Structure 1
Amino acid sequence: MEAQMVELARAAGTAVVTLMATDAWERTRDGVVALWRRVSPSRADGVEGELEATRGDLLAARENGDDLTEQELREEWVGRVRRLLREQPDVAVELRRVLAELAPEPQDVGTGAVHMRAEASGSGRVYQAGRDQHITER
């Protein structure tokens, strides 16, 4: 499987799980199920059930501060999407469309430019983000 498809699967699986805990959950579920219904109708109902189960697990993991479970859930969906793309590579165009529809609306941030500067010394660390940031340290 080419690297571009693997990266698409990673982006899609990560986005699906991330959006499960947001107000965009229902749109996300509906978009993913509709995609599966078009490309693999016999599996669509099962995918819908798996999405709901994953969401329950994700919400419980977040409530308990269980970052490892959240990471595992993302990887599970990355694998599901990767297998779908391996079986039907032509679905990549539609998957990109679904992801674009699920992307959050851009917010008015003036010019849209972000300028950051940071310095760290010794054992110091710097974490900067122009938007969302997720840090998992071990």
Structure 2
Amino acid sequence: MDAQLIELARAAGASVVTLMATDAWERTRDGIVSLWQRASPARAEGVQGELEASRDDLLAARESGDDLTEQELRAAWAGRVRRLLSERPDVAADLRRVLAELDPEAGQSSPGVQMRAEASGSGRVYQAGRDQHIHER
């Protein structure tokens, strides 16, 4: 599978899960379900149910401070989208359009750049996508 399609699936999974907890939820659900209706009509109803269940899981996880569930949901939706794109690579343009309508900033990040950091105790993490100036006293 093309690396660009894999990255698109990853970005779509992240965007869909992020948007589940926003005012754009209904538009997100409708956009993703309509994509599946065009690409794989027999599975569209199941996808709608999975979106609803994922949203419930996400909201409960956020309420309890469970970050791991959100990461798992992002990976699960990236996997679903990747499998759809694997079966039907021709829907990639439709997916990009849906994502651009739902989250205009989603496509503006630099491809291939990922930053991840963890700090514990009194550790500090400084990350920047560009210039960063730190003045400590």
TM above 0.5: yes
The letter for the 1-side match of 2:13 is G
Q: How does 1:117-128 map to 2 (within 5 A)?
A: 124-127=124-127
Deviation at 1:10, TM superposition (A): 0.3
Unaligned runs of 5+ in 1: 106-122, 131-138
Distance in 1 between residues matched to 2:68 and 2:103, nearest whole Å = 25
State the SS of the aligned residue for 2:22.
coil
Q: Residue by residue, what CA displacement relative to the aligned partner does 1:30-82 show, whole Å, maximum 9, x if unpaired?
A: 00000001111110000000000000000000000000011001100000000
The count of aligned residue pairs is 113
Runs of 4+ in 1 over 3 A off after TM superposition: 127-130
| Residue 84 (structure 2) pairs with residue 97 (structure 1) | no
Higher-helix-fraction structure: 2
Partner of 1:47: 47
Q: TM-score by structure 2 length?
A: 0.78
Distance in 2 between residues matched to 1:45 and 1:61, nearest whole Å = 24
Distance in 2 between residues matched to 1:20 and 1:5, nearest whole Å = 22
Q: Residue by residue, what CA displacement relative to the aligned partner does 1:70-97 show, whole Å, maximum 9, x if unpaired?
A: 1001100000000000000000000000
Deviation at 1:128, TM superposition (A): 5.5
Q: TM-score by structure 1 length?
A: 0.77
Partner of 1:135: none
Partner of 2:37: 37
RMSD: 1.7
